[in-house]
Amino acid sequence: MADTRLANQIVLVTGGSGGIGAAIARAFSAEGARVAVHYFTEAPPPSGVTWEHLTPAAEAAATLAAELGGVAVQGDLREPDAARHLLDEVERQLGPVDVLVNNAAHCESPDTIDALDAGGLRRHYEVNAIAPALLISELARRPSTATSRCVVNISTDAARAFPGQIGYGTSKAALEGLTRGAALDLAAAGIRVNAVAPGPVQTGWMDADLLEHVRSIVPMGRAGEPGDIADAVVFLASHQARWITGQVLQVAGGHAL
């Protein structure tokens, strides 16, 4: 890629201490950006519920931030004032945020239509849709001397229909709707809003049998790697994408078209 013009940009990556988030943080750092790695250490799930996402401890975030010359910032995105506190902390340590990557996600099971309950739906929407909306709103309200700022939301390539994961899939569909609406609202303010929709990405959750199955259903013949997603995110935040907003870029090797 040519000059991305991301050097010295302040980038906040939510859920950035492991998996795709860590790859995104590293990719921005490689472009000279200053990265804030957000993390949250999840409490034990309610009885009968399994968390399907990894929540690395604070030490993982601190280690990654030190490696990148950035900072680690903690925050529970389910809290109503989390957006304000998180941006305050990043500003205090690095400066105003130029690039916001809404990567943090909640995924739990059971999540089938016949097993839904209010608690599970609430937890999915709080992290996957409401928190990104509040973070974007908070970013937009803050003064900035930057000529342009941008947001990249991380969705899923199955957001249109995700059988078996109703709360997760519909909350990501809401995130894609937010992407389009916020892009139109904020275009005049010079804030671009886009999304990346990954296919199945190996971050340690797929065993050998599942990995082989994924290879068989992805037209390009392999599971995704965190770097595949990170490169797309960096592109959408870069100068090369300066006239792109309101888009959902599917990065999935042809899966779920």
Q: Which residues have a catalytic role annotated?
A: 168
Estimate to the nearest angstrom the gap between the alpha carbon of 49 and the chain centroid. Answer: 23
Q: Cα separation of 183 and 52, whole Å?
A: 30
Max alpha carbon distance in the chain (Å)? Answer: 51
Radius of gyration of the chain (CA): 17
Owner of token pair 């937009």: 140
Decide: 98 and 190 in contact? Cβ < 8 Å: no
Encoded tokens for 118: 């209010």
Residue 187 to residue 97: CA distance in whole angstroms: 17
- The values of phi and psi at residue 163, to 5°, are -60, 140
Q: Do residues 123 and 78 lie in contact, with contact meaning Cβ atoms separated by under 8 Å?
A: yes
